[in-house]
Structure 1
Amino acid sequence: MLKILFGVARLPFLTLTVLCIALAAAGSWYQQGSLSIGLLLLVLLMALAAHISVNAFNEYFDFRSGLDFLTRRTPFSGGSGTLVAAPQQAQLALWLAIGSLLLVSAIGLMLSALIDWRLLLLGLPGVLLIYSYTEYINKSPLLCLLAPGIGFGALMTLGAYWVLTGKPDALALSLSALLALLISNLLLLNQFPDIEADRQVGRRHLPIVLGPAKAAWVFSALLLACYLLLGAAVWQDWLPAAALLGLLSLPLAVRVIRSLQHAINASSRNQSKGQDQLAAALGHNVLLTHALPALVLLGLVLAKLQGVA
Structure 2
Amino acid sequence: MLSVWLRAIRVKFLLASVIAVSLGLSLAWHSGHPIDIIHAFLTFAGVISLHASVDLLNDYWDFKRGIDTKTKRTKMSGGTGVLPEGLLKPKSVYIVGIAFLILGAIIGIYFVIIFGITIGLILGFAILSVIFYSTKIVNWGLAEVFVTIKGTLIIIGTYFIQSQSIDDFTILAGIVVGVLSSLVLFVTSIPDHDVDKEKGRRTLIIIFGKTNAVKTFLIFPVLAYGIIIYGVVSGLFPIYSLIVLLAKPFLILAILHLKDLEKSENILLSSMTNTLYFSRIAGALFIISFLIGF
TM-score (norm 2): 0.95
What's the CA shift for 1:228?
0.8
Residue in structure 1 matched with residue 43 of structure 2 by the alignment: 43
- Whole-angstrom distance in 2 between the partners of 1:154 and 1:19: 11
Instruction: Name which of 250, 266, 269 aligns with 1:252.
Output: 250
Preserved contact between residue 105 and residue 127 of structure 1 (Cα < 8 Å): yes
- Whole-angstrom distance in 1 between the partners of 2:17 and 2:144: 18
Alignment coverage as a number of residue pairs: 294
What's the CA shift for 1:79?
1.0
Residue in structure 1 matched with residue 266 of structure 2 by the alignment: 276
- Residue 114 of structure 1 pairs with residue 104 of structure 2: no
Residue in structure 2 matched with residue 191 of structure 1 by the alignment: 189
- Residue 171 of structure 1 pairs with residue 161 of structure 2: no
Preserved contact between residue 174 and residue 239 of structure 1 (Cα < 8 Å): no
CA displacement 1:197-222 (0-9 Å, x = unmatched): 11221111121232112233121122
What's the CA shift for 1:33?
4.5
Percent identity between the two aligned chains: 23
SS at match of 1:50: helix
Residue in structure 2 matched with residue 94 of structure 1 by the alignment: 94
Residue in structure 2 matched with residue 200 of structure 1 by the alignment: 198
- Whole-angstrom distance in 2 between the partners of 1:130 and 1:123: 11
Q: 1:133 to 1:96 in 2, by over 3 A?
A: same
Residue in structure 2 matched with residue 129 of structure 1 by the alignment: 129
Residue in structure 2 matched with residue 13 of structure 1 by the alignment: 13
Preserved contact between residue 156 and residue 171 of structure 2 (Cα < 8 Å): yes
SS at match of 1:84: coil
- Whole-angstrom distance in 2 between the partners of 1:172 and 1:102: 28
What's the CA shift for 1:72?
1.1
- Whole-angstrom distance in 1 between the partners of 2:212 and 2:52: 32
- Whole-angstrom distance in 2 between the partners of 1:5 and 1:292: 28
Residue in structure 1 matched with residue 229 of structure 2 by the alignment: 231
CA displacement 1:9-58 (0-9 Å, x = unmatched): 12222122111111111111111242111010000000110110000001
SS at match of 2:191: helix
- Residue 58 of structure 1 pairs with residue 58 of structure 2: yes
SS at match of 2:71: coil
- Residue 68 of structure 1 pairs with residue 68 of structure 2: yes
What's the CA shift for 1:88?
5.8
Preserved contact between residue 82 and residue 88 of structure 2 (Cα < 8 Å): no
More helix by share: 1
- Residue 209 of structure 1 pairs with residue 207 of structure 2: yes
Provide structure 1 residue ranges, at least 5 long, that are not aligned to the other structure. Answer: 305-309
Residue in structure 2 matched with residue 307 of structure 1 by the alignment: none
- Whole-angstrom distance in 1 between the partners of 2:139 and 2:198: 12
CA displacement 1:56-94 (0-9 Å, x = unmatched): 001110111111111111111111101112266111100
What's the CA shift for 1:288?
0.5
What's the CA shift for 1:158?
1.5
Q: Give the residue type in structure 1 aligned to 2:114.
A: L
Q: Give the residue type in structure 2 aligned to 1:129.
A: S
- Whole-angstrom distance in 2 between the partners of 1:4 and 1:298: 33
- Whole-angstrom distance in 2 between the partners of 1:174 and 1:209: 27
- Residue 146 of structure 1 pairs with residue 140 of structure 2: no
